[in-house]
C-alpha cells in the first residue's frame, strides 16, 4: 500500500532548513564510485554493465561495456582483473567474477554478431595511429566513434601487437582476437600492414594528418651478458613467442631454461612444455614474493610441470648445459652471490628479461622528451610536440593490455578535444564506496562461480584454451552477486524503514527524494541502505 501523499519542499528553502531543533543532520542521496570502477585501468563503468547483465539484457550490458573498451572477449581472457581485488564482495564471501562475466558478454557479442553503435558525424579531421596493438586499436576505435578518419600503420603483418605476438594461444585464441579487431575495421578504420614509420613528422606531413597517436609496442628484448660457448643456443622470449604465429615453430629442444621472472617468462615456459619439452625450468634471481609474474599464472605453470629455481642466476651457457650460481638475500632483501654453483642440462636458454620500445621514429622531433626509454607525456597524453600524443608501452606506466586500452581511450578523447580546440573535462570525482559504507546484513553467501579448466594432459600437449567461460546460467548468477556499491538500485529499504514518512518514491528508474519537512534526521535510512547511497550531512541552519 502506498504511503499518504506528502508535499515536497525544496531542499534549499528556508522552511526546509528549519524543520525542528532536534535535527542537526539531514540525509541526502548520492552516487558513490564503486571500487571496481575506480580500480579499472581501462576506465570501464563495471557496475553499470553488470546491472544490465544481472537483468538478463546481455546486449545492453555489452553496449555499455564497449563505450569504454572495444575488446571485452579479449579482456575477459587476458586482463589480470585488479577490479576483483578491489571488490567489496570479497569481504562478504568472494569477489564478483567481473572478468568471467566480461568474457561471457564478449563471446555472446561475437556469437550473435552484435555491432558497435553508429559513429558520430564526420569531423573532417584525419588521425594517424602508429601501431596496431591494444593501445593503438583502442584509440582508433574511440576516434572513429567520435567521427574522425583514422589510419593505423602497423609494422607487422597482422593486428593485435602484443595481444597476438606476446600472449600464447592457450590464453587468447586468435579467432577471438580477429573478431574483435574486425569490428573496429568495420567502423571504417584503415589498417596498413607491413609498413614501418621511419619518421613520424614525415609521415604526418605526407598523409595530411591533423594529429598522431604513437602506440609502438615494446618488441625489443632486453639482453644480459651471459658468457656462452660458440654452439650455445640463446634466444629471446619475444622472438620465441612471435615465432609461434608462423608455420615454423621454434626448436627449443627437450630441456629448456628460461631466465626471468615475469609473465613473459611464464608464457615461454608453458609454451615450451606444449612444444614437447620434458624439462622447462625458470631460473629467477629472487624469491617468489618478489616475482613479478601473477600468482595464478605461476600456479598454472607449476601444475603443468614447469620447474622454478628461485634465488639463482645464470653464469655461463654451454652447448648442452648451463652453470647456475645460487643467490642469498641480504638484510635488505636483495639477492647476493654465494659462490655456490650448479650445472643444469639445457638444449636452449630463453632470455625473458623485459622489453624496450623502438623509438627511432621520433628522433629529432622538436619538444619531445624521452627519459628511461619512454616518452614523456602530459596529463592529456600529449608529448612536448603539439598534436603528437603517445600511450601504451611508449609512456611511463605498467605494461599490460588493460592499461594500454585505457591509454588509447584517454588519448582519443584528448585528441578529439585538441582537434576541436576545446579542453576535455573528466567527470567530477565522487566519494569511493568503501565497504564500511555498505550494510552487508542484507546479503547472503553466494560463492563465486569458478570457470572450468582444461585437464592437465591436454594443457601440456595442445594449445587449446586453458580456461573456459561461463554459460548463461552461471554468468547471470555471477552478475547478480554485485552489491551495487555506492549506487541506489531502488530496493525500497529507505522507503520502508523511515518512521517519518519522509521518503518519496519518484517512480521506476528515478529513485527517491526526501521531504525534509517530515524528516527528523534519525539516520535509520543511512544505516539500512545496503549499498551506501545515502549519507548524513550537517544541517545548514
DSSP character string of 65-129: HTTT-S-HHHHHHH---HHHHH-GGGGTSS---HHHHHHHHHHHHHHHT--PPPPPPP-S-EEEE
Vertex 458 angle, CA 452 and 464, to 5°: 70
Place of cell 634466444: 235
CB atoms within 10 A of CB 287: 14
Query: Looking at residue 169, what is its pLDDT?
Result: 95
Asked whether the predicted pLDDT for residue 540 surpasses 80, the reply is no
pLDDT at 22 (0 to 100): 72
Mean pLDDT in residue range 286-305 = 93
**C-alpha of 270 from chain center:** 23
Residue 524 clears pLDDT 50, i.e. is over it: yes
Rounded to whole angstroms, the Cα distance separating 180 from 76 reads: 12
* Confidence at residue 12, expressed as pLDDT on a 0 to 100 scale: 40
CA distances to 54, 77, 308, 489, 514 from 193, in Å: 41, 26, 39, 47, 59
What cell numbers appear for 369 in the block?
622528451
Q: Give me the mean pLDDT over the 384-388 stretch.
A: 96
- Cell 627449443, residue? 252
pLDDT of residue 294: 92
Beta carbons within 8 Å of 436's beta carbon, 6+ residues apart: none
Query: For residue 483, is pLDDT > 80?
Result: yes
State the pLDDT confidence band at 5, using cuts at 50, 70 and 90.
Answer: very low
Q: If 0-12 CB within 10 Å is exposed, 13-18 middle and 19+ buried, where does residue 213 land?
A: buried
Write out pLDDT tens, residues 422-453.
999 888 888 999 999 998 777 778 888 889 99
Model pLDDT, residue 19: 52
Pick 43 or 224 by higher pLDDT. 43
* Mean predicted confidence (pLDDT) in 152-177: 96
C-alpha span between 317 and 319 (Å, rounded): 7
Give SS3 for 37. helix
In this predicted structure, what is the pLDDT of residue 10? 42
The confidence score (pLDDT) of residue 429 equals: 87
Lowest-pLDDT choice from 156-170, 397-411, 439-453? 439-453
**Are 290 and 313 contacting, i.e. CB atoms less than 8 angstroms apart?**
no
Query: In DSSP terms, which residues pair with 336 in a beta bridge?
Result: 328
Higher pLDDT, 15 or 381: 381
Answer yes or no: are the C-beta atoms of 228 and 316 closer than 8 Å.
Answer: yes
| pLDDT value for 442 | 74
How much is the pLDDT for 321? Answer: 92
d(CA 229, CA 240): 21
Average pLDDT over residues 301-318: 95
Q: What is the pLDDT of residues 20-74, one digit of tens each?
A: 457 889 999 999 999 999 999 999 999 999 999 999 999 999 999 999 999 999 9
- Would the pTM count as exceeding 0.95? no
Residue 16 has pLDDT above 70, yes or no: no
pLDDT reported for residue 444: 77
| Residue 499 neighbours by CB distance under 10 Å | 11
pLDDT tens digits, 95-138: 999 999 999 999 999 999 999 999 999 999 999 999 999 999 99
The conformation of residue 350, written as its DSSP 8-state character, comes to: E
Residue 21 CA to residue 23 CA, distance in Å, equals 6
**Cell, residue 71:** 575488446
| pLDDT category of residue 232 using cuts at 50, 70 and 90 | confident
Average the pLDDT over 239-268 and give the result. Answer: 92
Q: What is the mean pLDDT of residues 226-231?
A: 79
**Pair 72, 105: CB distance under 8 Å:** yes
Round to whole Å and give the CA distance between 371 and 373.
Answer: 5
What is the percent of the chain with per-residue pLDDT over 70, rounded to a whole number?
A: 96
Whole-angstrom distance, CA of residue 476 vs CA of residue 490: 20
Count other C-beta atoms under 10 Å from residue 298's C-beta.
20
Tell me the per-residue pLDDT of 459-480, one tens digit each, with 9 for 90 and over: 988 999 999 999 999 999 999 9
pLDDT for res 127: 98
pLDDT of amino acid 15: 41
> Considering the chain, what is the average pLDDT of its residues?
92
pLDDT average, residue stretch 496-516: 94
Percent of the chain with pLDDT over 90: 84
Domains of the chain: 1-31+488-541 (3.30.70.20), 36-116+446-479 (1.10.1060.10), 126-220+367-419 (3.50.50.60), 221-355 (3.50.50.60)
149 and 422 Cβ atoms separated by less than 8 Å? no
Within 8 A by CB and 6+ apart from 280, the residues are 256, 258, 269, 270, 272, 273, 305, 306, 307
What cell numbers appear for 30 in the block? 548520492
Neighbours of 2 (CB within 10 A): 5
Amino acid at each position: 500500500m502506498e504511503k499518504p501523499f506528502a508535499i515536497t519542499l525544496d531542499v534549499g528553502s528556508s522552511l526546509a532548513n528549519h524543520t525542528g531543533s532536534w535535527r542537526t543532520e539531514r540525509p541526502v542521496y548520492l552516487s558513490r564510485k564503486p571500487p571496481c570502477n575506480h580500480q579499472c585501468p581501462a576506465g570501464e563503468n563495471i557496475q553499470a554493465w553488470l546491472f544490465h547483465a544481472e537483468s538478463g539484457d546481455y546486449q545492453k550490458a555489452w553496449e555499455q561495456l564497449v563505450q569504454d573498451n572495444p575488446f571485452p572477449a579479449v579482456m575477459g581472457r587476458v586482463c589480470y582483473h585488479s577490479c576483483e581485488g578491489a571488490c567489496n564482495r570479497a569481504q562478504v564471501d568472494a569477489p564478483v567474477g567481473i572478468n568471467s562475466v566480461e568474457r561471457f558478454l564478449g563471446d555472446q557479442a561475437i556469437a550473435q554478431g552484435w555491432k558497435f553503435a553508429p559513429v558520430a558525424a564526420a569531423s573532417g579531421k584525419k588521425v594517424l595511429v602508429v601501431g596496431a596493438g591494444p593501445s593503438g586499436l583502442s584509440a582508433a576505435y574511440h576516434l572513429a566513434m567520435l567521427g574522425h578518419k583514422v589510419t593505423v600503420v602497423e609494422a607487422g603483418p597482422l593486428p593485435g601487437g602484443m595481444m597476438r605476438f606476446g600472449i600464447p594461444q592457450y590464453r587468447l585464441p586468435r579467432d577471438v582476437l580477429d573478431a574483435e579487431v574486425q569490428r573496429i575495421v568495420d567502423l571504417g578504420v584503415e589498417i596498413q600492414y607491413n609498413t614501418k614509420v621511419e619518421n613520424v613528422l614525415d609521415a604526418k606531413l605526407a598523409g595530411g594528418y591533423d594529429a598522431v597517436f604513437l602506440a609502438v609496442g615494446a618488441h625489443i628484448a632486453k639482453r644480459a651478458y651471459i658468457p656462452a660457448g660458440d654452439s650455445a643456443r640463446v634466444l629471446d622470449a619475444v622472438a620465441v613467442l612471435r615465432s609461434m604465429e608462423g608455420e615454423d615453430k621454434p626448436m627449443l629442444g627437450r630441456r629448456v631454461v628460461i631466465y626471468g621472472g615475469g609473465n613473459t617468462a611464464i608464457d615461454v615456459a608453458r609454451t615450451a612444455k606444449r612444444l614437447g619439452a620434458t624439462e622447462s625450468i625458470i631460473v629467477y634471481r629472487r624469491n617468489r614474493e618478489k616475482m613479478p609474474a601473477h600468482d595464478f599464472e605461476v600456479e598454472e605453470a607449476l601444475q603443468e610441470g614447469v620447474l622454478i629455481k628461485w634465488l639463482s642466476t645464470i653464469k655461463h651457457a654451454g652447448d648442452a648445459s648451463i652453470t647456475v650460481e645460487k643467490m642469498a638475500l641480504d638484510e635488505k632483501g636483495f639477492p647476493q652471490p654465494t659462490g655456490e654453483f650448479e650445472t643444469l642440462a639445457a638444449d636452449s636458454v630463453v632470455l625473458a628479461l623485459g622489453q624496450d620500445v623502438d623509438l627511432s621514429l621520433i628522433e629529432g622531433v622538436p619538444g619531445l622528451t624521452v627519459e628511461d626509454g619512454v616518452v614523456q607525456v602530459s596529463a592529456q597524453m600529449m608529448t612536448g610536440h603539439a598534436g603528437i600524443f603517445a600511450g601504451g608501452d611508449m609512456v611511463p606506466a605498467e605494461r599490460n593490455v588493460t592499461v594500454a586500452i585505457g591509454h588509447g581511450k584517454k588519448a582519443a578523447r584528448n585528441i578529439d578535444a585538441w582537434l576541436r580546440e576545446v579542453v576535455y573535462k573528466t567527470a567530477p570525482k565522487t566519494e569511493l564506496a568503501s565497504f564500511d559504507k555498505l550494510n552487508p546484513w542484507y546479503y547472503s553467501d553466494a560463492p563465486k562461480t569458478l570457470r572450468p579448466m582444461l585437464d592437465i594432459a591436454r594443457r601440456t600437449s595442445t594449445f587449446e584454451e586453458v580456461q573456459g567461460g561461463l554459460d548463461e546460467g552461471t554468468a547471470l548468477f555471477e552478475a547478480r552477486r554485485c552489491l551495487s556499491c555506492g549506487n541506489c538500485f531502488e530496493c525500497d529499504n529507505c522507503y520502508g524503514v523511515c518512521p517519518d514518512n519522509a521518503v518519496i518514491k519518484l517512480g521506476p528508474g528515478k529513485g527517491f527524494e526526501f521531504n525534509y519537512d517530515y524528516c527528523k534526521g534519525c539516520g535509520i535510512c543511512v544505516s539500512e541502505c545496503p549499498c551506501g547511497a545515502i549519507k548524513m550531512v550537517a544541517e545548514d541552519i
